[in-house]
Amino acid sequence: MNLERYADRVLETARRHGATDAEVSVEARVAALTRFANSEIHQSVAEDTVRVTLRYVHGRRYGMAATGRLDDAALESLVERASANARSTAESDDWPGLPEPGPIPEVTGAYAASTGEATAERRVETVREVVAAADAAGVAAFGSFTTGAVTTAVISTRGVRAVQTRSDAWLVTVHMSPGGGTGYAETCAVDVADVDGAALGREAAGKARADDHAVDLAPGEYPVVLEEYAVVDLLAKLGRCGFNALAAQEGQSFAAPGLRVASDLVTVWDDGTDPAGLPTAFDHEGVGKERVSLIDRGRCVGLVHDTRTAARAGIRSTGHALPAPNPVGPLPTNMFMAPGASTREELVGRLDRGLLVTRFYYTNPVNPKRGIVTGVTRDGVFLVEHGEIVSPVRDLRFSVSYLDVLRGVAAVGKERKTLRGWYGGVSVLGDITVPAVLVDSFRFSG
């Protein structure tokens, strides 16, 4: 499907309607998902969708409209609606204008045909591997395997013309043991060939078996090793609440230049062009992705911007706009945390008496300004004594400042995982690449 052709037609129509500027974003997605529970496939779905979004500018007035159809009548109506929306509002003294064309980085490895064209049979085959690992361990598998491709074109009257196609394969599995244990494994990749169902199945099964017959542990402060599945939540929440320039401009973010928010061992950046993640060349305004340093050896150094927040700050957008309309503000959608030097065994080995935590669940900010988040552990918490796992522990609730957690990082793992994290539950194709960490103290409330 030639998306530029549709975008050009909409731009031309907008000009005829009197737009002084216009921007069209067309996104076409083909995706399919095979979902399994109790070790059998219970949902098997496929979709073919398209979304055309128009930002129509008339002087210092602007409005937007979107449609899910590509026929002539729908595209004409799209322009009429956006035009009406623009004309219904007063002139804005805060309108930065549409972004000017700028450099768009060369990105390689964003698309794999093996993923974009993956068949139901291919997904079923991988799910069978996951289930076989569960069967072998005497546990049940619950999860999903998604494959898809999205083509995005952003074209504007200012001269922006950006087109890319990306693919993603995402497998999540929770294994449940008759003894009450649960285990988790996840991966995401551009190429479906990089998804190893058998390995993920074994990982989750092993964790579920080890988690059997968990015991209660008194709430309190413990040193912890947070596996990658838990660390991803730290970055996702802080990225949304803190490194988002809109939150900072509205006084709701903890982030400030030079502020110590983590230990020296923590360095975090956002880089849409790194092929280690799910690469992307530009954002939803067609602005090229810049690598943005967020935390450098424990100190805040940067924020991500879209055109609006950048204009307020007097700088250029870093290429982190989300689809319009976007009340959330710009987000870091391709975060990386620098690896350390420790193996997983070394991290766990440093716990004299502490906990190994697989992941966090249903976390939500209680006080974003202080980075305080509440949530619960899930899919495997283990008491470690003298560097050895001695017992699985029942899940625990916490309400802690994720900033305090990062400040307490005492060691960082050398291996990293690329995960969807929070972005798995939203429509934005984002990912986070993280290592495991050892944290001096983590308070559980029970």
Partner 1 sequence: MEPHGTPTGAMREITDRALDTAVSAGADYADVRVVRRVEESVTVRTGRVESIASDESEGVGVRVFAYGAWGFAATHRYDADAIDRAAAEAVRLAKGAAPSLRRRVSLAERPRAYGTYATPVREDPFALPLEVKVADLLDADAALAVPGVVSTASTYAAQREWKTFAATDGSLTEQVFTHVGAGIEAHAVKGSEHQRRSYPEARGGRWQQAGYEFIRELDLKGNAARCGGEAVALLTAPPCPEGPATVVIDPSQLYLQIHESCGHATELDRVFGAEASYAGTSFLTAGLLDSRFRYGSDLVTLVADATVPGGPGSFGWDDEGVAAQRTTLVENGILTGYLTSRDTAPRIGRESGGAVRAESWNRLPLVRMTNVNLVPVPGMSLQDIVADTDDGLYLTQNRSWSIDDRRWNFQFGTEIAYEIKGGRLGRILRNPVYSGITPEFWRSCDAVADERSYVMYGNPNCAKGLPPQCVQVGHGTSGARFRGVRMGAGR
Site for partner 1 in 235-294 (CB under 8 A): 250-252, 254
CA 87 to chain CA centroid, nearest Å: 36
Binders of partner 1 among residues 196 to 225 (CB under 8 A) are none
Binding piece for partner 1, criterion CB under 8 A, among 5-13, 137-145, 156-164, 231-239:
137-145
With CA atoms as reference, report the closest residue to 153 among 291, 305, 281, 278.
281
Binders of partner 1 among residues 161 to 200 (CB under 8 A) are 172-174, 176
Smallest separation, CB 284 to partner 1 (Å): 14
d(CA 290, CA 292): 6
- Near partner 1 by CB under 8 A: residue from 79, 107, 127, 188: 127
Contact in structure between 311 and 140 (CB atoms under 8 Å)? no
* Structure tokens belonging to residue 405: 């957690």
**How many residues in the shown chain lie near partner 1 by CB under 8 A?**
86
Binders of partner 1 among residues 334 to 393 (CB under 8 A) are 361-370, 372, 374-376, 378
d(CA 57, CA 91): 11
Smallest separation, CB 230 to partner 1 (Å): 15
**Cβ neighbours, 10 Å, residue 404:** 18
* Structure tokens belonging to residue 65: 């409209």
Smallest separation, CB 180 to partner 1 (Å): 11
Contact in structure between 225 and 237 (CB atoms under 8 Å)? no
Contact in structure between 183 and 203 (CB atoms under 8 Å)? yes
d(CA 428, CA 420): 10
Binders of partner 1 among residues 80 to 119 (CB under 8 A) are 81-82, 84-86, 88-90, 92-94
The separation between the first and the last C-alpha atoms of the chain, rounded to the nearest angstrom, is: 53
* Structure tokens belonging to residue 41: 């496939």
Residue with smaller CB distance to partner 1, 62 or 269:
62
Smallest separation, CB 141 to partner 1 (Å): 9
Smallest separation, CB 349 to partner 1 (Å): 30
- The secondary element (H helix, E strand) that includes residue 214 is none
Binding piece for partner 1, criterion CB under 8 A, among 4-12, 60-68, 267-275, 408-416:
60-68
425 binds partner 1 (CB under 8 A): yes
Residue with smaller CB distance to partner 1, 2 or 92:
92
Residue with smaller CB distance to partner 1, 88 or 108:
88
Binding piece for partner 1, criterion CB under 8 A, among 74-82, 151-159, 206-214, 295-303:
74-82
d(CA 305, CA 328): 12
- Near partner 1 by CB under 8 A: residue from 5, 16, 69, 213: 69
Smallest separation, CB 73 to partner 1 (Å): 11
Instruction: Provide the residue count of the chain.
Output: 446
Binders of partner 1 among residues 145 to 164 (CB under 8 A) are 146
User: What x/- string results for residues 7 through 46 when contact with partner 1 is judged by CB under 8 A?
Assistant: ------------------------xxxxxxxxxxxxxxxx
**Amino acid making up residue 172:** V
Smallest separation, CB 208 to partner 1 (Å): 12
CA 184, 189, 190: angle at the middle one, nearest 5?
160
Smallest separation, CB 301 to partner 1 (Å): 20
d(CA 351, CA 441): 11
Smallest separation, CB 54 to partner 1 (Å): 10
Binding piece for partner 1, criterion CB under 8 A, among 99-107, 313-321, 345-353, 425-433:
425-433
Smallest separation, CB 44 to partner 1 (Å): 4
Binders of partner 1 among residues 297 to 326 (CB under 8 A) are 324-325
Contact in structure between 26 and 54 (CB atoms under 8 Å)? no
Beta-strand runs (E) in 265-371: 268-270, 292-296, 299-300, 334-337, 353-367
* Structure tokens belonging to residue 341: 């030097």
